[in-house]
Amino acid sequence: MNKDLLTLRDLSQKEISRIISRAIDLKGGVDGSACPLIGRSIGLLFEKPSTRTRVSFEVGIYQLGGQAVWMSPQELQLGRGETIADTAMTLSRYLGGIVIRTSSHERVTEFARAASIPVVNGLSDLHHPCQALADIMTMQERKGRTRGLKVAFIGDGNNVCNSLIEAAACMEFHLTIACPEGFEPDADILAAAHAGSQSEIVVLRDPKEAAGMADVIYTDVWVSMGQEGQADSKKNKFRGYQINKELLACAKKDATVLHCLPAHRGEEITDDVIDSPQSAVFDQAENRLHAQKALLEMIIR
Ligand code: CP
Ligand code: NVA
């Protein structure tokens, strides 16, 4: 059976721990010459822009000995009305696996249902599981553990936040989310996380309350890709949710700052915070490469 990564829940705690430990080894140069993807081609079908996800997958696939085949819908018959399912069935005859970035999560699941190769979600409106793997790895690096950590997510209850909720439930860290009313994370994802874990996962309004004594403080853009039409009204509602020196002072003295990037400096995070020694955001970006290589080693057969 195929091993897909459509949401972080497709991986068990044991599998995530294995990926993170392997990623840390790969980053440290252990067994860096292993090329499990020799002779294999991995597709990258991206319907939205990307810097980190695209380049880290392309480079990672090359480092594992494989070939990355990048595709945008405009260049495929998909852009002229060929169905997702027919595209998935066709590409499955050529590729060893595929990474998809698209708008609706339903498109990712539809593709995976029709595909006979492993499908990795490279971001949908609901989930960003590859980001969550790098987030877990970065917390492990900076704090030496994930279990029992107090993590605060300040901002929009979006795809990155939803996958962080699944990470909290699986890796047993506590997560407090502060967001304005109407911008809560997905209710079903939250309910499933509450049902399946001992971690405290709380949604509240006050950013200072969420940041209080946190080990890790995390944010993402207020206006995600595809939401440009709501930019002005969202920015107004999120004004009090910026990670700045004052908010960071509520967290533990040695709190780590995370951001999945791209950042809108001066909006959800200030320069002095993102560029401070407490910020791990570029390690977090680098860790996308290592974590995804470890993931591909596990799922591509
Ligand atoms: N964090 C992240 O997924 O970045 P990109 O949009 O640049 O891929
Ligand atoms: N929430 C952001 C994440 C970008 C990596 C978006 O969907 O645009």
Question: Domain limits of the chain?
Answer: 8-128+287-299, 131-284
Atom of ligand 1 nearest to the CA of 128: 3
Amino acid identity, position 266: G
Judge if 8-128+287-299 and 131-284 fold alike in CATH terms: yes
Using CA atoms, how far residue 168 sits from 197, 244, 267, in Å, is 9, 24, 26
Length of the chain, please? 301
Q: What pLDDT, in 10s, does the model give residues 82-135?
A: 999 999 999 999 999 999 999 999 999 999 999 999 999 999 999 999 999 999
Please state the three-class secondary structure of 225-241 as a single string: CCCHHHHHHHHHHCHHH
- State the pLDDT at residue 34: 73
Of 47, 48, 53, 162, the one to substitute when testing ligand 1's pocket (max ligand atoms within 8 A of C-beta) is 53
Token pair belonging to 55: 């380049």
Look at residue 32 and tell me whether its pLDDT is greater than 80. Answer: no
Fold classified for 8-128+287-299 = Rossmann fold (3.40.50)
pLDDT tens, residue by residue, 256-279: 999 999 999 999 999 999 999 999
How far out from the chain centre does Cα 130 lie? 4
CATH architecture of 131-284: 3-Layer(aba) Sandwich (3.40)
Q: What is the mean pLDDT of the chain?
A: 97
pLDDT for 1: 62
Active-site pick, 22, 128, 142, 259: 128
pLDDT at 301 over 90: no
